[in-house]
A and B are shown apart, each in its own frame.
Chain A
Amino acid sequence: MTKKTMLFLAAALIAMPVAAQDLGAPIGTDQPVESVAVEGEGSDGPLRGTVTDETAWSDIGIAIPAFATDRERATPANEAGTGALGREVARVITANLQNNGLFKPVGPDSLPQPDFTQITAPAFTTWSGRSAEMLVHGYVRARDDGRLVVGCYLYDVALQNELVREGWVVAPGDWRRAAHKCSDLIFSRLTGESPFFDSRIAYIAETGPKDRRVKRLAVMDSDGANHRFLTLGSATALTPRYSPDYSKILYLSYVDGNPRIYVYDIGTGQQALVTENRNPTIAPRWSPDGKSILYAMAVAGNTDIYRVPATGGASVRLTDSPGIDVGGSYSPDGSKIVFESDRSGSQQCYVMDADGKNQKRISFFGGRCATPEWSPRGDQIAFTRIAGDFNVAVMNTSGGGMRVLTRGWQDEAPTWAPNGRIIQFFRTERNTGRSGIWQVDLTGQNERRLPTPVDASDPAWGPIRP
């Protein structure tokens, strides 16, 4: 080793007050996506089309030809130019609508390509001849400042009417976000539901044999794109949760040899303990406003739930039963917390006020109730139902109306899409221990595995991106 290298290493060690580190390079925070007025005649005001009921969604044929461009220009997003990028945008939208089983989209690779002037004046006869009920048009334009403008239009082919339009200015590296925003616009306009495509997922990437599994913190877009590892894998990482503004991730790491919750800052790549305490801390959760953090801490073997301000400070203990109390999840208005406890002898779900008062068991349907997660819509709680096998189920907030949504051998740890219509979870294979992230919709339909570069567990779906 040269003297220079040694000096460098010495400097690196001094710069790292924490003895052990397992962090990769920071990925930086989100760039804002700005809405912009798009090409076309002034709208006649919002059209109120028919909101179809959900059984009919999947029958809606939607044509999504390539997005046009006003002028072919190479951009960092696609060297072949804005026209090629327009085709990619249409493919992403098609895959979004297809993968979620909501509609019958037909993508750009089997459709004629409209030119730029047709974006605001579609050739409706072409599309009605293809029995498309809905038509998506759009364009990509490279601005002189290097940013991209993406316009998105939804037309009703039979009515020959524009239903909705919107445009966004994005950095070239964020072009997929424009495709997700357009997917959300279409989805929301046709279903009346809140959007969810423009969101990210934090999860645990798993590699290696069952007894020496490497578990790394990773993030990806809602469709699996823009995948990044955040930790290096020398320490086991578990149970991440995105902060509501995507600036931080809470997760458990064994980086100092013990299970402890860290607050990882995505912008700086730095992390800090959620609470300065020698006891192990597990099961982190954000409050909906991002101002508080719930975690569970074991003291002399007994685990209880605590709340601490996200900016640090004193922790407040919310449960004090001699059983294991763990995994609190806030209602969207922040007034209540659902959690699991084995105080009755087995894991069951309980609801309490946000200050810990009025703890009441809500699960009484046989089997066990674990990892409860309150829906962002407020009306449902997803959980792991243990009754022989492990399955994802939902119930209303008083424990009624329980429905089992999945049928795997071990499906656990549900997380909600930002609009509360889809649930992701992880499924572990018997014997091999291999794991993958799956999703299913609230009706128990459209179950599918998410593509991840390696095995995956502990998905945590973030909100719609700011």
Chain B
Amino acid sequence: MNTKIATILLLASATGLAACSKKAPETLPPAPVETATPAQPTGSAQPAGAGVGTQAHFAGAVGSSTTIYFDTDRYNVDSQDAAALQAQAQYFARFPQITFTIEGHADERGTREYNLALGERRANAAKAYLVSLGVDSNRISVVSYGKERPVALASNESAWAQNRRAASVIIN
């Protein structure tokens, strides 16, 4: 399958997905600051204020879909994650010059070394899904932070749900 066809297919599937309402995580992480209307991949509107190749531009285009979330000790890509990754793949198809990193994370309720391995597994699951959608694997770096970099700081289920994540980031 050549890139052009892949892109067209992606656009088509993303258009279909845009209509679906995404099931939100139990507690949403804090919204990115410059969020435009999320997941409008086919729209002609460019995210305002940030240049191509920045995290702000990426987040402006895909909204909360920069990050996917996992169940305890799991690393499978569920339907909600798939929708987010499709939005990401569509974005990266539009901007083929962009390289990015997927950061895998775990919640604090795991042992340190296991969590490093688990974050690695989660980030790789996200990467494999993006590659299956046509994103060149050479554009994707992967790093695990285990439980060392939480975004939600409480010690409760909703905080842990926000920390079990794989976040795609564009590092300038």
Contacts and interface: CB of A to CB of B under 8 A. Distances in A.
Interface string A231-248: 000001011000000000
Contact of A384 (B111, B121, B151): B111
Given A303-B121, A346-B73, A428 B111 contact: no
Interface in B153-170: 153-155
Contact of B114 (A209, A210, A238, A324): A324
Given A210-B150, A280-B144, A346-B73, A298 B121 contact: yes
Interface residues of B, number: 29
A215 B147 CA distance: 13
A268 to B, nearest CB: 27
Interface residues of A, number: 42
A300 B116 contact: no
B88 interface: no
Contacts of A252: 116
B65 to A, nearest CB: 21
A412 interface: yes
A369 to B, nearest CB: 10
A236 B148 contact: yes
Interface of A: 209-211, 213, 215, 236, 238-239, 252, 257-259, 280, 282-283, 296, 298, 300-303, 324, 326-327, 340, 342, 346-347, 370-371, 384, 386, 390, 410, 412-413, 428, 430-431, 433, 457-458
Contacts of A282: 113, 116-117
Interface in B130-161: 142-144, 146, 148-151, 153-155
A258 B111 contact: no
A213 B114 contact: no
A213 B143 CA distance: 18
Interface of B: 73, 75, 108-109, 111-114, 116-118, 120-121, 123-125, 127-128, 142-144, 146, 148-151, 153-155
Contacts of B120: 280, 298, 301, 303
Of A239, A280, A283, A301, which is in contact with the most chain B CB atoms at under 10 Å from its CB? A301
19 contacts: A238-B148, A239-B112, A259-B143, A280-B144, A282-B113, A296-B113, A301-B75, A301-B125, A301-B142, A303-B121, A326-B114, A326-B117, A370-B111, A371-B113, A390-B111, A413-B111, A428-B108, A433-B155, A458-B112
